[in-house]
Amino acid sequence: MSQASGSLIQTSGLQVSYQGRAVLQGVDLAVRAGEVVAILGGSGGGKSTLLKAILGLVPADGGSVYLLGHPQRSEESITGSEGMRRVGVLFQQGALLQSLTVAENVALPLEMHTQISRSLRRDIVHRCLEQVGLGQAGQRLPAELSGGMRQRAALARALVLDPDLLLCDEPGAGLDPVTAAGIDQLLLELNRRRGTALVVVTHDLLSIARLNGRVVMLAGGRVVFDGPTALARQSDVPAVHAFFHAGD
């Protein structure tokens, strides 16, 4: 299956297994420019695996994955190439390098993917930190920051190359409700201001409501729902209904 016109991400019949256990069993997904997509599912349901397959970090056993028009795991893959400048990733818990300052962490993608001068790099890093409310924290180490500040720093790092697409794996995990809401607002501002497409893996109902985009629900390694948040809440698909109405 060729990549759909205008899609930043396109998977078709994607299959991934770990040690003989099928995790993804024929996942079809398309994400277009400017979209906000929440990937939902139970624990161990394949949400993070789907992100890793999109990024080419785990091999597919079957089907295809296109990222920015390039097939992953092929000679045309963008992984490690100039094309990866267009993709930002926000990992769980931030994944900052503890031995580097916040500013040095944020500068890493610029050092890896550009040849710009040190002064321009410094200006871009400062601007990104300002955008996430950390303009005065550049010289601090990650260990000196709260969990929410570390996640904001990681978001600044993900944005420093001005990506077309941002992939987020549980961005609010381990954060208090107010801080998690602040991260969601930053993501939405990014989407509105820059038009960056967001793909957010989450199990947080409040976060899903705030993002209020497309919902893609995984169950049994397959997509069982793909549509607007409002329709997901009304869905009678068992896995979707149970997710949104647990305890009702």
- List, for residues 154-213, the tens digit of each pLDDT value: 988 988 888 899 999 888 888 889 988 988 998 998 899 888 999 999 988 999 999 999
pLDDT of 201 reads: 93
Give 74-104 pLDDT, tens digit per residue: 544 555 555 567 888 888 766 888 889 999 9
Query: What average pLDDT score do residues 13-36 get?
Result: 93
Q: Is the model's pLDDT at 54 over the cut of 60? A: yes
- Number of Cα atoms under 13 Å in the Cβ half of residue 156: 30
| 108-159 pLDDT per residue, tens | 888 888 888 899 989 999 988 988 888 888 888 998 988 888 888 998 898 8
HSE-CB for 105 with a 13 A CA cutoff: 28
Token pair for residue 32?
């277009």
Average pLDDT for 219-229: 94
Residue 1, pLDDT score: 40
What is each CA distance from 243 to 58, 227, 248, in whole angstroms? 27, 15, 11
| 23, pLDDT greater than 80 | yes
The answer to whether 14 and 64 have CB atoms below 8 angstroms apart is yes
pLDDT of residue 2: 44
pLDDT for position 235? 95
Domain spans of the chain? 99-162
For residues 239 and 220, what is the distance between their CA atoms, to the nearest angstrom? 10
pTM assigned to the model: 0.87
pLDDT of residue 73: 65
What span, in angstroms and rounded, lies between the C-alpha atoms of 199 and 192?
14
Q: Are strands 87-90 and 165-169 parallel, antiparallel or unpaired?
A: parallel
| CB of 180 closer than 8 Å to CB of 172 | yes
